[in-house]
Structure 1
Amino acid sequence: MTPSLQDARLRQLSDKGVNVVDPRQTFLDDDVDLDRVFPEAILFPGTRLAGRKTLVGPRAKIGSEGPATVIESVIGESAEIASGYVTGSVLLTKARIGANGHVREGTLLEEEASTAHAVGLKQTVLMSFVTLGSLINCCDCLVSGGRSRSNHTEVGSGFIHFNFTPWGESGDKATASLFGGVPDGVFLREERIFIGGSSGMVGPTRIGFGSFTTAGQVIRSDVATKRIRSESQREVDAPWGFAAPRKAADRVERNLEYIGHLVALQAWYRRMRKARVPDDDVSLPQRLTLDAAIALLDGNIAERWVRLGQFLGQPLPPIKLPAIDCPLQLNSDSGPHISWVKNLSPEEIASGRRWLQDTVDAVVIANRPSVG
């Protein structure tokens, strides 16, 4: 793109109400759709936008603490990227990536989820209000729990999710871990989870709501609901071979369950979240953001299915995704999503939980023969 064309495109953004703080230090690739950069967004110096899917919502902030590159990503209303690199990801309202983030494909941050500085994410879903500290690598995880911005699941600084095992011909990444879960987590009524800092977790692991793992350990086994866990380091000196036996049946079941949670979350977005958004110009950024989240979850489901096939050493047939009818009634006049969730009755919550858990179970049951 010539400098004159670049300047003209930046002027177009400014003319429609986008705050381009310093055009001399702002770059738009020629495939960026200017209609997807909305008025009142703020592009700080050092912002680089690329990709036809890229969207910057109203009052979103890009590069508030330093240079930021955004590629094929959707940054929702009032969301923020302090600095760093974000590609193939979606941030919902008021979500925030801290300074020097490295956020790759398949990452979804729901409302007010956030990270501190120097956090790496890939194929990871942080549900509403979840908070990650600094210096974290969290790939292939779904994290939920908590009820508000002041009562939220938190992962302490210096945490690593180990998402690769060396067994087999080339190792595998059928190791996604589940913190809490979708059928309960989406209703924002569950106890928060706390993962202590300077620690790690070997996937695939399950952490129950309301649990606490202490700092300075590596978690190697599941933690039940409302437990405190501290594991001592193992001492091992034994013969080794990369063809060591694996608990294939258990690993398969965990992967099918994780995929089921992704399918349930996608159903929640399609049947409830997207369907509640008014079809008007004011709500266009929100509709586009939710469309992007739904598409992202499609990609995450496909990724997990491929990784499971690699683990089993064989290509799998197309995944079966059963659809369960949603029992909840739509009400598009009940305000923003978080307010709507908080105002659901106990009966509605119980019905919604059954629907989402039935969705998880149906995915597991339908696909067991394919991987048996």
Structure 2
Amino acid sequence: MPHVQPAAPAPAPPVAAVVVLAAGQGTRMRSSRPKVLHALGGRSMLGHVLAAAAPLGAGATVVVVGSGRDQVEQHLAQIAPTAVPVLQEEQLGSGHAAAVALAAVPDIEGAVLIVNGDSPLLTTRTLDALVAAHDAAGSVFTVLTAEVDDPTGLGRIVRDERGAPQAIIEERDATAEQRAIREVNAGVYVAAAGTLRRVLAGLATDNAQGEQYLTDALAPLVAAGAPTAAVVAEDPDDVLGCNDRRELAARRRTLNDRVLDELMRSGVTVVDPATTWVDVTVSVGPDAVLRPGTQLEGVTSIGAAAEVGPDTTLVDTEVGEGASVVRSHCLGAVIGPESTVGPFSYLRPGTRLAGDAKVGAFVEAKNVEVGEGSKVPHLSYVGDATIGRGANIGAATVFVNYDGVTKHRTTIGDHVRVGSDTMLVAPVTVGDGAYTAAGSVITSDVPPGAMAVARAPQRNVAGWVRRRRSGTPAAEAAAAAESRTAAPREDRSEPSRADSDS
């Protein structure tokens, strides 16, 4: 029997746990929604932080919740169901919050990454660099820092003559010399779990807020001779927090600029970055063109060489290669390759266009399949329908899908011609190759190849305006026309002098 080597144990992740501090109320947001749930670029602030930390492969992710606990926990269940929410019942500071988190995972050993839940610009690259530097230095506590032009209001990083970090000094406690320091605390830390537990247990509360600050963990470790480190973020924008609506708008702008820059580097044309907004969850293929006023949200995807905009919003919508969407609003739609949409179209969820299809100006579509090469050119409502290949839906057609209680479906066959101003009262089927006459109300199935005419014969009531609208401009115009019609015609049997002269 061959000897089988036992499988090697999986290497331990470089980060044993991620702790996200998300218990704050965020009063400056002036909102009933918890601060970390405010959205930018297609995710909540908390969602961005979790997305940045996820590639680190931590064994556990703990989110400290407090204010708006129910809302935050519900959101976590949707975006990160494996994350563990832990309640900080009293808001006693960042150090206390970190201790509450560690108490929830008592068996965790190794490196613990601590981040604030309101840092939506954090990137995986920055966190990777922080963890790598922590490991390389053999540090027990490493703080992420940033060099900023204006450090007002931020904690300063004090280093010794060798460049080693000595303390994090809050601005209100800093000397004039310390306030001149431009390196600031980013609120992101990596620490050995055991060391962190011990130092957090000894944090004092002798400060203006009477709270335990995580920033106070550095100084006692330095005094004890423990190895510590401070790593400067490559991009200071990565560590920006968000405390009010103005800062939220600024972070949204920065995030969007990053997304657009990456798209342009990958071969996408963004005509006007100032008016183009693209969520981080969107994908755009090379040679696509995004025109001014374009907004791409959710899980929207744009195929290669497609054109979107101007003034177009796409939410959770798929646009195929070479397709075009102009001045339209689309939600949960699929637009096939080489198809065209707009201007001024509204595609609602469930709308699916096959290749080379067209939905034109002032058309609303919902839960409809439009076959290859088929067209709904203008001024129509198409709901709950299947349209075959090569069909044409005339202007002002309405798919009458709702009877007041239930939605019904209409089926249009291949190469059908639906006349302008047709009402298709579902459920109804128009067979392959059939026609409907303009102005018809179709209530019964139309056989393949038939012409359906469903309209009353025209009846003209002579003299109605003269009798019923006497004295109106319409009556005067009608009378004038009638007099012209009734005037004797010139006898032209013999040439007139004018005729002979010509």
Per-residue deviation, residues 309-344 of structure 1 (Å, max 9, x unmatched): xxxxxxxxxxxxxxxxxxxxxxxxxxxxxxxxxxxx
3-state SS of the aligned residue for 2:329? strand
**Higher-helix-fraction structure:** 1
Residue 58 (str. 1) matches residue 304 (str. 2): yes
> Deviating runs (4+, > 3 A) in structure 1?
none
Per-residue deviation, residues 124-176 of structure 1 (Å, max 9, x unmatched): 0001000112111001000013xxxxxx210001100011013xxxx111x10
Distance 1:133 1:216 in 2: 17
Distance 2:348 2:423 in 1: 20
After TM superposition, give the deviation of residue 227 of structure 1 in Å: 0.3
After TM superposition, give the deviation of residue 232 of structure 1 in Å: 2.6
Count, aligned residues: 207
Which aligned pairs between 1:1-372 and structure 2 lie closer than 5 A? 1=40, 2=251, 3-30=253-280, 32-33=281-282, 36-51=283-298, 53-63=299-309, 66-145=310-389, 152-166=390-404, 171-173=405-407, 175-180=408-413, 192-233=415-456
Distance 1:48 1:110 in 2: 23
Alignment-mate amino acid for residue 72 of structure 1: D
3-state SS of the aligned residue for 1:216? coil
Decide whether the 8 Å contact of 2:259 with 2:279 is kept in 1. no
Alignment-mate amino acid for residue 201 of structure 1: L
- Which protein has greater RCO, CA pairs closer than 8 Å, 6+ apart? 1
Structure 1 alignment gaps of length 5 or more: 146-151, 186-191, 235-372
Per-residue deviation, residues 248-289 of structure 1 (Å, max 9, x unmatched): xxxxxxxxxxxxxxxxxxxxxxxxxxxxxxxxxxxxxxxxxx
Alignment-mate amino acid for residue 179 of structure 1: I
Distance 2:288 2:377 in 1: 26
3-state SS of the aligned residue for 2:274? helix
Distance 1:233 1:204 in 2: 22
Distance 1:19 1:210 in 2: 42
Distance 1:172 1:4 in 2: 47
Identity of aligned residues (%): 28
**Higher-strand-fraction structure:** 2
Distance 1:75 1:158 in 2: 26
After TM superposition, give the deviation of residue 9 of structure 1 in Å: 1.1
3-state SS of the aligned residue for 1:5? helix
Structure 2 alignment gaps of length 5 or more: 1-39, 41-250, 458-502
The aligned residue for residue 498 of structure 2 is none
3-state SS of the aligned residue for 1:221? coil
Decide whether the 8 Å contact of 1:218 with 1:233 is kept in 2. no
3-state SS of the aligned residue for 1:40? coil
Decide whether the 8 Å contact of 2:301 with 2:319 is kept in 1. yes
Decide whether the 8 Å contact of 1:133 with 1:158 is kept in 2. no
3-state SS of the aligned residue for 2:378? coil
Distance 1:225 1:56 in 2: 37
Decide whether the 8 Å contact of 1:177 with 1:205 is kept in 2. yes
Alignment-mate amino acid for residue 265 of structure 2: D
The aligned residue for residue 285 of structure 1 is none
Distance 1:233 1:165 in 2: 23
After TM superposition, give the deviation of residue 233 of structure 1 in Å: 5.0
Alignment-mate amino acid for residue 308 of structure 2: I
Decide whether the 8 Å contact of 2:439 with 2:455 is kept in 1. no
After TM superposition, give the deviation of residue 21 of structure 1 in Å: 0.5
Superposition CA RMSD, Å:
1.4
Distance 1:160 1:77 in 2: 30
The aligned residue for residue 304 of structure 1 is none
Distance 1:233 1:86 in 2: 38
Distance 1:200 1:61 in 2: 33
3-state SS of the aligned residue for 2:259? helix
Alignment-mate amino acid for residue 15 of structure 1: R
The aligned residue for residue 46 of structure 2 is none
3-state SS of the aligned residue for 2:361? coil
Distance 1:232 1:92 in 2: 36
Distance 1:176 1:203 in 2: 6
Per-residue deviation, residues 163-190 of structure 1 (Å, max 9, x unmatched): 1013xxxx111x101112xxxx5xxxxx
Per-residue deviation, residues 84-109 of structure 1 (Å, max 9, x unmatched): 10011111110111201100100110
Distance 1:164 1:20 in 2: 41
